Amino acid sequence: MTKKNLVLAFSSFFISRDPDRGRLEEYAICYEQLHRVLPDTFSLIFVDNTIANKRDLAMISQRLYKAVDNTPCLFYDNNIGVSNKGLGELDMLAKAFNRLDLSSYDKISYLTGRRFVTCPYVFYRTENCKKKILVGSQHFVNAQSGQVIPLTPNCFEDMYFSMDYDVMVEYVDYAKKNMNPPPGVGSEQILYSFVNSTKYEYEELKHLGFIRNNWERWGSTPNQYTRDLQNYMVC
């Protein structure tokens, strides 16, 4: 029997900079779309670090609750990524491997949940990847202005990447040892360092087909969630 692949979709539903909880609807939109485009050869687990019980969502956002209902979830309330979101996602990755048996899966895909996945391209690339690692080096483009934001040197973009199960186990162990990096070092640098410190060959994703609301960088009101057109990036 052919093993299935797995997508781990990471989220932080509740943050202080979004007191009106507008991001919950955006997560719902992204997760509804993820269900639509995810191939049948993949399983899906939602992981969130700001809520302990999925049922609590039903009283706050029916739309988001319906988007995650009937799908396996790992929810816990301990967000260590308030000032460094990438480290929060790495902690969720480690929690998933610590608390769940994922050994039956062939490839594990890491996905930042609040991204609109326009098509199944990245999943097909994962399925057909002949190397043990599939990792991204994409530029971002502001959808309104057309401004190109190049990737920072010595980084791999980690909105989406995949590894064979055994390699992802190694990456989890590596990440655990690097959870207190110096200022300016985030999950993208940790991923780059791991990939370049191993013997494994990798394939690169030059495009994702994702839409991202980068409200913290481009929003009209600093530190306040918005859906202004100028926020949106494509990659």
Does residue 147 lie in a domain region?
A: no
Three-state DSSP class for 41? coil
Residue 95: per-residue pLDDT: 97
Residue 220: per-residue pLDDT: 67
CATH number at residue 27: 3.90.550.10
Contact predicate 200/218, CB 8 Å: no
Does residue 15 lie in a domain region?
A: yes
- CA distances to 27, 44, 159 from 207, in Å: 22, 22, 11
Residue 222: per-residue pLDDT: 64
Does residue 16 lie in a domain region?
A: yes
Q: State how many domains the chain has.
A: 1
Residue 1: per-residue pLDDT: 59
Does residue 98 lie in a domain region?
A: yes
Phi, psi angles (nearest 5°) of residue 115 = -135, 135
Provide the residue range defining the domain that includes 190.
5-137+155-207
Does residue 228 lie in a domain region?
A: no
Does residue 78 lie in a domain region?
A: yes
Question: Which residue positions in the chain have pLDDT lower than 50?
Answer: none
Residue 180: per-residue pLDDT: 86
- b/e sequence 134-153, b meaning 16+ C-beta within 10 Å: bbbebebebbeeeeeeebee
Three-state DSSP class for 45? strand
- pTM of the shown model: 0.95
Does residue 222 lie in a domain region?
A: no
